[in-house]
Amino acid sequence: MKCFEFHCKLKELQLLGTLNGGQSFRWKKNIKDGIEQWVGVFKERVWVLEQSFDTLKCQVYQTPHDNMENNELELILRNYFQLDLINLEEHYEEWSAKDPYFKEAAKQFYGIRILQQEPVENIFSFICSQNNHISRITSMVEKLASFYGSKICDLNRVEYYSFPKLDDLAHPAVEEKLRTNGFGYRAKYITKAAQEIVSKGGTDWLEKLKLMDYVDAKKNLITLTGIGPKVADCICLMSLGHLQAIPVDTHMYQIAARLYIPTLSKKKTITESIYKEIGDHFRNLYGPLAGWTHTILFCADLKKFKEVINDDREDKPNKRKKK
């Protein structure tokens, strides 16, 4: 285990809203000796984070052959939270000046960051998210990891696994195993999408999507089985660096209709043109980081948010559908 800490203000990173807002499904909140901890898996390591007013304390559990030093691990974590890319305090001031609704939301939902996730995990997590609720998505993602990932460690009597590699998910036998373990139609989507990505060049193809402009990257993602506009935008935003992507689900549509585009209230469905209208509205309002502000507004409008968090922990699926 490696231990380190570094300076990080709450206004630059709020773990609660960032890790429990539906971006990643591999983080859990624990209370140890009265202290809130967040335990999660990324980059084939288990991370335990504790936050104080201006300090982030970190414990990192690695496999025996992995002996990365503290300074390297800190850099991985900083990149994951994009701490050196975006100064949130400055941007919050800018966004608040443009939008009174954002200014009100920012009072409680400060320090919400877009995670820079691994594209493979991000893609297959959000394929699992369709027509689903957070606790079940989390269960599916953990099953994928335990079935096809590599074991990292045991911690507090829990086994932790890395997320599977593309080739492991592309194996023809995967679909049947996932179907028998509660994945339903998503089993086929996962296997087919993995096979399609491998045929296009695998992780090299995914890296190329980061270098494309947002529109082209989204078009390429939509060619994959099981990925429509909303999921493609989630992937663009959360793992490909296209921070202007706006995932529009029913909840975001309701926010736009109520607060920003009143004419939408007369519409009954989210058509392709309405989807684009909502995205363009926020991009025109906020600029190239519109997807970041969308995430903050999304969290702020989730019926007190803490109630949603409790629902997720208590496995009450009817409260919120994932995008």
* Residues acting as catalytic residues: 230
The residue behind tokens 């414990």 is 59
Instruction: Dig out the tokens for 41 from the structure.
Output: 């898996």
Residue 68, helix vs strand vs coil: coil
Sequence-ordered list of residues with C-beta below 8 angstroms from that of 223, at least 6 positions apart, any chain: 196
User: 160 near 151, Cβ under 8 Å?
Assistant: yes
Contact 13, 111 (CB under 8 A): yes
CA dist 212 and 30 (Å) reads 39
Q: CB–CB of 118/206 below 8 Å?
A: no
- 195 CB-near residues (< 8 Å, 6+ apart): 170
CA torsion angle 233 236 239 241 (round to 10): -140
The alpha-carbon radius of gyration of the chain (Å, integer) is 19
Tell me the DSSP string of 118-164: -HHHHHHHHHHTTT--HHHHHHHHHHHHHHHS-EEEEETTEEEEPPP
